[in-house]
Amino acid sequence: MIDQQMYFEQMKKYMNEGSALWQVTIITTDGSTPAKPGMKMIIPLKSEIFGNLGGGEMEHAIIDYIRERQPTSSQVLAFKLNNSGIFTEVDKDVNVDISTNMICGGSVEVFIEPLFKKDKLYIIGAGHCGKALGHIAKLCGFYVVMIDNRESSLVKEGVGIVDRCVHIAYHDIGSVIEFDDFAYIVIMTHGHIHDKEVLEYCIRSKYKYLGMIGSNNKVQQTFANMLSNGYTREELEKVHAPIGMRISSHTPYEIAVSITAELISIRNKDKTSKPIPQEMVNCNNNAN
């Protein structure tokens, strides 16, 4: 049996780090199986697992499934434990089938829960605009990580506004950013001194959104330099620069609003919009 206090302390630690994290719980068993209802395991994407699902091939299959598929919604998996590698469906409501070669002869259902915000915003630069963006983006449901090579800028007002502050040299940000299909990256380093360096580091990695603050002239100059250094137009066309919606913004919070609006538009663009009910259309027409 795992120590419950240690288990939930470890869960809290991983959740505070904002890393991709899932909890797996054994919900039903039938026949001979080492798994028992109520067994739990915490499975982070990269860090050490914590807990127990009975061990053996089934446990490894669950870990591999989560780390390969990275599910973003809760789901139930069913396992038929046998020595033939042939899966027999356990429950008509189960939506994922995985075979194992275990010889126990029983069956198991597990419940998988994502315990993290999939949309993670990395703000590179903790200036006035960076802090304003972190504040608004967090209110809009992003997990916000603020990164700066100046510790003083992070300490001053940064902690508490966002989910996580990281003091690190910009050439080491790969140890902080999880480059995946849910990574939003906004580059706004102090005085724009390191913007090009950070952009070159990120541009060939996986991301959902990559943007860089700056005027049209500054962006054009940066892109011209990168083209001469071997980067392609196709790569640069994916970068949102100048950044944000065009609302004639000037103050840090106005700029933050324009950037957050653009982030939200990217986050929501794959969602299917529902048609307006006909009765509402008729109502509006009658009102006119």
Domain assignment present for residue 274? The answer is no
Q: Which domain holds residue 126?
A: 120-268
Lowest-pLDDT range of 12-21, 43-52, 143-152, 214-223: 12-21
pLDDT of residue 37 exceeding 80 = yes
Only one residue has tokens 């719980």, namely 25
Domain assignment present for residue 133? The answer is yes
Lowest-pLDDT range of 82-86, 163-167, 190-194, 198-202: 82-86
Domain assignment present for residue 125? The answer is yes
pLDDT digits (tens, 9 = 90+) for 186-198: 999 998 899 999 9
Please tell me whether residues 41 and 165 are part of one structural domain.
Answer: no
Please tell me whether residues 50 and 30 are part of one structural domain.
Answer: yes
Domain assignment present for residue 288? The answer is no
**Average pLDDT over the chain, rounded to an integer:** 83
Please tell me whether residues 130 and 22 are part of one structural domain.
Answer: no
Q: Look at residue 159 in the predicted model and tell me its pLDDT.
A: 58
Residues paired with residue 40 on neighbouring β-strands, in sequence order: 25
More confident residue, 44 or 160: 44
pLDDT of residue 283 exceeding 80 = no
Domain final residue pick, 75, 92, 114? 114
Please tell me whether residues 132 and 192 are part of one structural domain.
Answer: yes
Tell me the CATH number at 150.
3.40.50.720
Helix (H) or strand (E) segment spanning residue 237: helix 233-237
The one-letter code for the residue type at 82 is: N
Q: Look at residue 102 in the predicted model and tell me its pLDDT.
A: 53
Please tell me whether residues 109 and 131 are part of one structural domain.
Answer: no
Domain assignment present for residue 283? The answer is no
Please tell me whether residues 25 and 142 are part of one structural domain.
Answer: no
Please tell me whether residues 195 and 245 are part of one structural domain.
Answer: yes
Please tell me whether residues 33 and 12 are part of one structural domain.
Answer: yes
pLDDT digits (tens, 9 = 90+) for 96-152: 445 555 555 567 889 999 998 778 999 999 999 999 999 999 999 999 999 999 988
Share of the chain above pLDDT 70, in %: 82
Domain assignment present for residue 273? The answer is no
Helix (H) or strand (E) segment spanning residue 165: strand 164-167
Q: Look at residue 198 in the predicted model and tell me its pLDDT.
A: 96
Asked if residue 126 lies in contact with residue 154, where contact means CB atoms within 8 angstroms, the answer is: yes
Please tell me whether residues 75 and 15 are part of one structural domain.
Answer: yes
- Which of the four pLDDT bands, split at 50, 70 and 90, describes residue 157? low
Q: Look at residue 253 in the predicted model and tell me its pLDDT.
A: 96
More confident residue, 35 or 250: 250
Please tell me whether residues 109 and 57 are part of one structural domain.
Answer: yes
Helix (H) or strand (E) segment spanning residue 108: strand 107-114
Domain final residue pick, 98, 114, 130? 114
Q: Look at residue 77 in the predicted model and tell me its pLDDT.
A: 84
Which of 149, 190, 183 is CA-nearest to residue 166? 149
Please tell me whether residues 174 and 234 are part of one structural domain.
Answer: yes
Domain assignment present for residue 277? The answer is no
Please tell me whether residues 211 and 125 are part of one structural domain.
Answer: yes
Domain assignment present for residue 68? The answer is yes
Asked if residue 124 lies in contact with residue 173, where contact means CB atoms within 8 angstroms, the answer is: yes
Q: Look at residue 172 in the predicted model and tell me its pLDDT.
A: 93
